[in-house]
Amino acid sequence: MSVKYVESSKLPTSWGMFEMHGFADDSNDKEHVVLSMGDLSGDQPVLVRIHSECLTGDALFSLRCDCGAQLQAAMHRIAVEGRGAIFYLRQEGRGIGLINKIRAYHLQDKGADTVEANEQLGFGADMRDYSMLKAMFDKMGIDKVKLMTNNPRKMEALRELGINAVERLPHETGRNPHNAHYLETKRGKLGHLFQAEGEDT
């Protein structure tokens, strides 16, 4: 496994004090972080979010997707529980990179959906890689996971890596008029589950 733990520091946030843990993958020069709160050891399942970087949603306030709202909701839920971890993976645009994401958005502006746009650019619908997670979970000392996600495939991906994902917690937030079609595509083509289908919130 080529991802290696490097260093940790405090990260004060609007939701409380997190610890930030840096990991470097020398096989592809990617850098990932884990934000943790509380004691993650022991038998009680740990509240976890696996979040792939979305510069536009996480940092630029984009409403084209639900990433920013999901990241903030995960930080809030962990702060309320006082214990949990966010694995922030640097794989922009479901793994295609920032510039290709702009190309995909351009195609979507002209009518393609998020899956069709990726395919027109020659990419798979979802190019994300989770193989680095096993080493990161082991380093964090997490045994059992309750995962905040609407994506059952993410649960399967963890289990295939040997990570003990014991429970899926729906994580529905950030629906707005600009991303309604995007979320519908994620439900219809990428297998995401939404309980609040059709609601405006």
Angstrom distance (rounded) from CA 3 to CA 134? 10
For residue 15, what are the contacts with CB-CB under 8 A and spacing of at least 6? 72, 75, 76, 78, 79
Q: Which of 34, 46, 48, 67 binds Zn ion (CB under 5 A)?
A: 67
Choose one: 64-72, 85-93, 136-144, 146-154; the region binding Zn ion (CB under 5 A): 64-72
Q: How far is the CB of 63 from Zn ion (least distance, A)?
A: 10
Q: How far is the CB of 54 from Zn ion (least distance, A)?
A: 3
The position carrying tokens 């990428």 is 190
- Per-residue H/E/C for 142-160: CCEEEEECCCHHHHHHHHH
Q: How far is the CB of 65 from Zn ion (least distance, A)?
A: 3
The DSSP H or E segment spanning 33 is strand 30-37
Tokens linked to 98: 């920032």
Position 54 contacts Zn ion (CB under 5 A) = yes
Cβ(136)–Cβ(23) below 8 Å: yes
Position 57 contacts Zn ion (CB under 5 A) = yes
Identify whether 128 is a catalytic site residue: yes
- CB closer to Zn ion out of 65 and 78: 65
Identify whether 94 is a catalytic site residue: no
Position 89 contacts Zn ion (CB under 5 A) = no
Interface of this chain with Zn ion, residues 136 to 195, rule: CB under 5 A: none
Measured in degrees and rounded to the nearest 5, phi and psi for residue 110 equal -95, 10
Angstrom distance (rounded) from CA 173 to CA 201? 7
- Say which of 90, 128, 168, 187 is annotated catalytic: 128
- CB closer to Zn ion out of 37 and 54: 54
Choose one: 18-26, 52-60, 72-80, 123-131; the region binding Zn ion (CB under 5 A): 52-60
- Which residues are annotated as catalytic? 126, 128
Interface residues with Zn ion (CB under 5 A) are 54, 57, 65, 67
